[in-house]
Structure 1
Amino acid sequence: MPDSRPPRRETVARILDYLPYGHVSEAITSYQKRPLVQAVGEGNFVLMEMTPKEGVVPTVGQRVNLTARDVIERVNRRITYGDLTNSAKLELGYEIQKIVLDNEDRFIRYFNEAGPITTRMHGLELLPGIGKKLMWAILNERKKGPFRSFKDLSERVKGLHNPEKLIAKRIEEELMDDRIKYRVFTAEPKEPRPAETRRRP
């Protein structure tokens, strides 16, 4: 099964939400809070919480270079899907699909190179909506030649519509479930901090 995750740190991200007063749950007055940004990386779809540069107001959907420091001052920490605001969760699917479309060559490779995972399951079946029938249709068609684009794939495999949405949905599923069995497009989840040992009274 091809690994569709670039072996590098995130250098470019897409803004999911801008919190001008930080987290509501923080027990400090609003004027003392620093603005925060929630974003998703373009490389391995790492979810991040960041501090914008002073005086800069990032917009949702904005593409930011993390090494330039012209918009983002620093990346504070890696976060999980559960840490996202409701607005960020709603935006996530749209931004993932944009990333997939903007990197079509990278993701069409999955349809061209995916192989069996077990004797009973193929890597293509990890994509939502692809069962045995569509899987065999894709495999038989790619024997004639690699798929050149999502459009080419859709035209050659009857019944397969909007393949970019299937990839995007799988990516979102991997981000939502840290315990998902097969991780194809996203970075491994961060390891939870060890629980603090409680002192006996």
Structure 2
Amino acid sequence: MTPEEKPRQREEQAFVLDFLPNGYVFDTRPSHVKTPIIQALGKTSFMLLELVPKKGVFVQPHEAVYIGEGKREKIHHINGRLAPSKL
């Protein structure tokens, strides 16, 4: 198997590093358009991830959340990898 054919490794769980209930401070969009953001660290390969919680869900730092395939209790979707400059 060549590196191009290697399947992408997906995280099943992540640890919350920070929860931004009002989104990023530097986001110039109006506050009613901003979405809450969870900055997390993947449990298996330690990827920095940007997650969006379900409506009305609040998480605490150091909390483990499920982000794998199937039904997620607290996470609506995964925005993708998080740039270290956004921490």
The normalised TM-score by structure 2 is 0.81
Alpha-carbon distance between aligned partners in 2 of 1:74 and 1:10, rounded to the nearest angstrom = 13
% identical aligned pairs: 36
Alpha-carbon distance between aligned partners in 1 of 2:77 and 2:39, rounded to the nearest angstrom = 12
The structure 1 segments of at least 4 consecutive aligned residues displaced by more than 6 Å after TM superposition are none
Partner of 2:4: none
Secondary structure of 1:82 counterpart: helix
- Greater helix content: 1
1:63-142 pair list within 5 angstroms: 63-67=64-68, 68-84=71-87
Greater RCO, 1 or 2 (C-alpha within 8 Å, sep 6+): 2
The normalised TM-score by structure 1 is 0.37
Tell me the amino acid that sits aligned with residue 30 of structure 1: S
Q: CA RMSD in A?
A: 1.4
- Greater strand content: 2
Structure 1 residue runs without a partner (length 5+): 1-6, 85-201
Alpha-carbon distance between aligned partners in 1 of 2:50 and 2:37, rounded to the nearest angstrom = 7
Larger Rg: 1
Deviation at 1:13, TM superposition (A): 0.1
Tell me the amino acid that sits aligned with residue 8 of structure 1: Q
Preserved contact between residue 53 and residue 69 of structure 1 (Cα < 8 Å): no
Secondary structure of 2:27 counterpart: coil
Tell me the amino acid that sits aligned with residue 65 of structure 1: Y
Alpha-carbon distance between aligned partners in 2 of 1:36 and 1:8, rounded to the nearest angstrom = 22
Tell me the amino acid that sits aligned with residue 46 of structure 1: M
